[in-house]
Amino acid sequence: MFGTSLFQTLNHIHRTDGKGSGLSLSSYKVARQDLCCGNPSFMQNSEKSPNEPAISKMERDSYDLPSHDAVSKILSEYLHLLKKPKTQDRTESVTQKKPKSQLNRTFDVHSPIKSPTMPNFEDDPHPSEVTEHQTKELENYRASMHKMADDILALRSQVSALESENSQLRLDLSLHQDLGHTLLDDTDIDVMTKSEIADRIASLKFKLSSESSTAAAQKDRIQQLQNELIRKNDIEKEFVQLQRAHQQQQAVLKKYQARSGKITALEDTVRQQEKVIEKMEKLLDAKLKERNKEKSEKRTALKHKDEEELKRREIESVLTAENSRLREELHRLRNLPPSVIIQQPVQPFSDSEKLELLTQLARAEGRIQTLEQQLKENSRQWGKEKQEMLTRLSEYEHGFARTSTMILHDLPVKSVTDSALGHTRHRQLEPLK
């Protein structure tokens, strides 16, 4: 039966020396379900137990576990409710009922085994109260079973902890005994004389001193190794610092290499631009030649331009000579070595010499300023003409070629002679170094 199986399981827990290996979670759940369903056979079987003396003896030998009839004691009120006879009101209500039809009557089959009587709640005038009472009792029983299971688990964990502690104590005891036997070397101390004991103590002292010296040597060795480890750590830190510095130097080197690459690219670009400028100059020369051919037919109408041509040539020659002279002077000034100041004894200058020196200095400064202004003006003029040439070249490349009429109408305010003069002058300039 389910009730007896639960009590047998609990008794088996008592017989396991407190280890708790006899109760499994599945058997506990099955027994709990049988008890929660209010099985009357379990209630009746829980009243008496054939092995009650043996069980009580086991309880005395166990680890203070609950008794075998703990559940029956807890559920005494529930058992009392099941055994309570019908009241007089209940019998009167049954007698007052009309006799039912015997068509659906079930007949009891007599058996030699007496089955437990089930309480009849059909004729109960207060079924809700009885059901509520049963529910409360079942909840109390569930709470008690939960508490019992928690106690069992706590005892099981306590027993396992005590067993582990006991095994550790036994191990420590065996180690101490082995140490004592090792010291005595299987020699009976009662048989040994005083001299033998003294010799034994002396040998042990010598062994202790040798072991102490060995331990000191090992400590020194450990200290040396620690110092070596510290030194290697310092070396590693220095290596890391050097590595970082090397990485920084590599980054700076890459930066300078990138700059040098940019400079090389700029030089290539300048060379290409110079080639483009030369091509543009050739193209413009060809255009000028074509214009000159067209103008040769109209010489009669353009005689006054001969004078301008002469003036242009004169100006061109003058400007060319001046430009070459200025370039030579600039080149000479750049190539002059740094002046070495030789201190000479201070001699008094006369007023005329001082005035002459001041005049020369003013002339030199004025000439320098004039040269700088001329250089700036020439550079500005060259830039303007370069931009104009680039514009015309782009127009020519894209198919916007100008005819002779367009050229005459599209000319700037300055005359053609001035443009040709400026073109010739700038073409003779060399790039600055």
Report the C-alpha gap between 165 and 157 in whole angstroms.
Answer: 12
Identify whether 417 is part of a domain.
Answer: yes
How many angstroms separate the first and last alpha carbons of the chain? 118
- Dihedral, CA atoms, 378, 383, 386, 387, nearest 10 degrees? -150
- Residue where a domain terminates, one of 160, 178, 196: 178
Buried-state track 209-239, b at ≥16 Cβ within 10 A, e below 16: eeeeeeeeeeeeeeeeeeeeeeeeeeeeeee
Buried-state track 296-324, b at ≥16 Cβ within 10 A, e below 16: eeeeeeeeebeebeeebeeebeebeeebe
Residue range 269-293: mean pLDDT, rounded: 90
- What letter would DSSP give residue 107? P
Identify whether 193 is part of a domain.
Answer: no
Domain encompassing residue 57: 2-86+119-178
- Residue where a domain terminates, one of 131, 160, 178: 178
Identify whether 372 is part of a domain.
Answer: yes
Identify whether 56 is part of a domain.
Answer: yes
Res 282: pLDDT = 92
pLDDT top residue among 237 and 342: 237
If one counts the domains in the chain, the total is: 2
* Model confidence, pTM: 0.23
What's the half-sphere exposure (Cβ side, CA atoms, 13 Å) at 393?
18
Identify whether 238 is part of a domain.
Answer: no
pLDDT top residue among 174 and 103: 174
User: Are residue 169 and residue 26 in the same domain, yes or no?
Assistant: yes
Q: What is the pLDDT of residues 355-372, one digit of tens each?
A: 888 888 888 888 888 888
Identify whether 166 is part of a domain.
Answer: yes
Which range, of 83-87, 173-177, 249-253, 260-264, averages the lowest pLDDT? 83-87
Give me 30's structure tokens.
């099955």
Identify whether 302 is part of a domain.
Answer: no
Res 348: pLDDT = 58
Torsion sign over Cα 108, 110, 113, 114: positive
pLDDT score of 184 more than 80: no
- Residue where a domain terminates, one of 139, 161, 178: 178
Identify whether 215 is part of a domain.
Answer: no
pLDDT score of 94 more than 50: no
Q: What is the pLDDT of residues 37-74, one digit of tens each?
A: 444 444 444 444 444 444 444 444 444 555 656 655 65
| Contacts of the segment 123-127: beta carbons below 8 A, 24+ positions apart | 123/86, 123/90, 123/93, 123/94, 124/90, 125/89, 125/90, 125/93
Res 126: pLDDT = 61
Mean pLDDT, rounded, of the chain: 69
Give me 65's structure tokens.
């576990």
